[in-house]
Amino acid sequence: LPPAVCWIPRVQDQGSSSDQWEHQTWAQTLEADGKSKGYREILVSALTRQLVAARPQTVSTRTIGIMGQAFVWNAMGTVPQYGHLDRLLSAPTNEAWIDPWAQLLRDLGVKFEMGWAAEALEISGGRITGARVVDGSGNRARAEADWFVAAMPAERAVSLWSPEILAADPGLERMNALVTDWMVGIQYFLRRPTPITPGHVAYLGSPWALTSISQAQFWRGDFAQRYGDGSAHDCLSVDISDWDTPGILYGRTAKQCTPEEIAREVWAQMSACLEDGTGAIDENDIVSWFLDPGVKWGAGGVTNDTPLLINTAGSLANRPEAHTAIPNLFLAGDYVRNDIDLATMEGANESARAAVGALLQTAGSPAAPPALYKLHEPPELEPLRRIDADRYRAGQPHMLA
């Protein structure tokens, strides 16, 4: 490894080389140009393209370094509270998580209004006074409240930032510079259990940066009895993280393929990586497949309703805090600044806790705020961190450079 990547400072460091890492791409820091194919596929791309759909040529070194360090501590068992490195749900997401959580909220008095989208926020006297919403039939209504939390992806939130909103909090305009990319799932329902490995598989070198998980081995109960018509005994769930590189079957990018071609291309790329004579996967086992319905084909081309935030180099300055300059407007989403500096559910949850804490404080509530969490930083590295900060402020290179 290049010496400069042996240690990555935390996001909170002030006057340290974390500012330098933030403005360097992962490919620049790992000096990817001229390196071997294996070096580029494993060290440069695996932590970026496969795991978070980020291109190493654009993603921030600070983000990948900090989260990569967390993976290392996790794998080493250094931080017990991190839990197992590759944790998985014991059932489909709705069954294991979403539905029970929604029921708990209903039991606490929360009312869900499904099928409505926010199309505008109204502001007067420096505060949000209402939200205009619309349903799928074009019916419109106005929602009033004392406090507003915009818990939505960055690309959806920016559509609400009217000139009046931006006049009250000019910093929100920087969110327009945030970048998203595609990481989309396809599921294959198979006639036989197909536990390729007891965890995630990263298909290093696959043109579409594929990862997969064989679900049945982790889900509770008998898969065939619980799901479908009994003909499927496993679900091979695959993430496609690169939609702009030509594949091996048709020579086209995923965005240029039909859904049927995507299903065949993904299978071909997995088969090529697993071609070791073990018969890990067999296309004759496919009962059916299901591509994320957020990807849509139309006259204007292919679109994706759920793109993924990418922490490009220098993008930290464009990401807001949970509490905006508008007293009763709060933000929750993985784009909001927090210590889990990656587009993950953990990052979204941390931002939500920050939003709730800020709301309680602003409202003068006596309720205790939710706990916020910090990534582990070994205390034995602190002297080195201080030396590095001093050298950076003095304009000197990293001590290992």
How many beta carbons lie within 10 A of that of residue 18, not counting itself?
Answer: 23
The closest of 371, 362, 364 to 329, measured between CA atoms, is 362
For 113-180+313-362, CATH number out of 3.40.50.720, 3.40.50.10860, 3.50.50.60, 3.40.50.620 equals 3.50.50.60
Taking the C-alpha atoms of residue 134 and residue 185, their distance in angstroms, rounded to an integer, is 29
- With cut-offs at 50, 70 and 90, classify the pLDDT of residue 277: low
| Two structure tokens written together for 156 | 């959806």
DSSP states of 67-98? HHHHHHHHHHT--GGG--TT---SS-HIIIII
Taking the C-alpha atoms of residue 16 and residue 352, their distance in angstroms, rounded to an integer, is 28
More confident residue, 236 or 400: 236
- Tens of pLDDT, residues 183-231: 999 999 999 999 999 989 999 889 999 999 999 999 999 999 999 999 9
Question: Which pLDDT value is given to residue 9?
Answer: 46
Question: Which pLDDT value is given to residue 95?
Answer: 96
| Domain(s) of CATH 3.50.50.60: residues in the chain | 113-180+313-362
- With cut-offs at 50, 70 and 90, classify the pLDDT of residue 4: very low
| Domain(s) of CATH 3.30.9: residues in the chain | 183-304
| Two structure tokens written together for 290 | 């299901």
User: Are 221 and 263 a contacting pair, CB within 8 Å?
Assistant: no
pLDDT surpassing 60 at residue 17: no
pLDDT surpassing 60 at residue 244: yes
Sign of CA dihedral 7, 10, 11, 17: negative
More confident residue, 231 or 2: 231
- Class for the domain spanning 183-304: alpha beta
Sign of CA dihedral 261, 266, 267, 269: positive
In percent, how much of the chain has pLDDT > 70?
Answer: 94
pLDDT surpassing 70 at residue 347: yes
User: Which whole number is the average pLDDT over 156-167?
Assistant: 97
Taking the C-alpha atoms of residue 188 and residue 236, their distance in angstroms, rounded to an integer, is 5
Residue type at 217 in one-letter notation: Q
Taking the C-alpha atoms of residue 260 and residue 186, their distance in angstroms, rounded to an integer, is 11
Residue type at 383 in one-letter notation: P
User: Which whole number is the average pLDDT over 46-72?
Assistant: 84
- Give the dihedral of Cα atoms 272, 273, 274, 275; nearest 10 deg: 40
| Residue partners of 44: CB distance under 8 A and separation at least 6 | 26, 27, 30, 32, 35, 56
Is 288 in a helix, a strand, or coil? strand
Is 335 in a helix, a strand, or coil? coil
Decide the pairing of beta strands 210-214 and 201-202. Answer: antiparallel
Taking the C-alpha atoms of residue 296 and residue 307, their distance in angstroms, rounded to an integer, is 12
pLDDT, mean over the chain: 90
Question: Which pLDDT value is given to residue 294?
Answer: 96
pLDDT surpassing 80 at residue 52: no
Sign of CA dihedral 51, 54, 57, 63: negative
Q: Is 329 exposed, middle or buried (0-12, 13-18, 19+ CB in 10 A)?
A: buried
Question: Which pLDDT value is given to residue 316?
Answer: 94
User: Are 260 and 232 a contacting pair, CB within 8 Å?
Assistant: no
Question: Which pLDDT value is given to residue 282?
Answer: 93
User: Are 353 and 372 a contacting pair, CB within 8 Å?
Assistant: yes
Taking the C-alpha atoms of residue 13 and residue 400, their distance in angstroms, rounded to an integer, is 19
- Length of the chain in residues, anyone? 401
Question: Which pLDDT value is given to residue 5?
Answer: 40
- With cut-offs at 50, 70 and 90, classify the pLDDT of residue 18: low
Residue whose tokens read 């990534």: 375
User: Are 320 and 172 a contacting pair, CB within 8 Å?
Assistant: yes
In percent, how much of the chain has pLDDT > 90?
Answer: 69
* Out of 40-49, 143-152, 329-338, least confident range: 40-49
Is 350 in a helix, a strand, or coil? helix
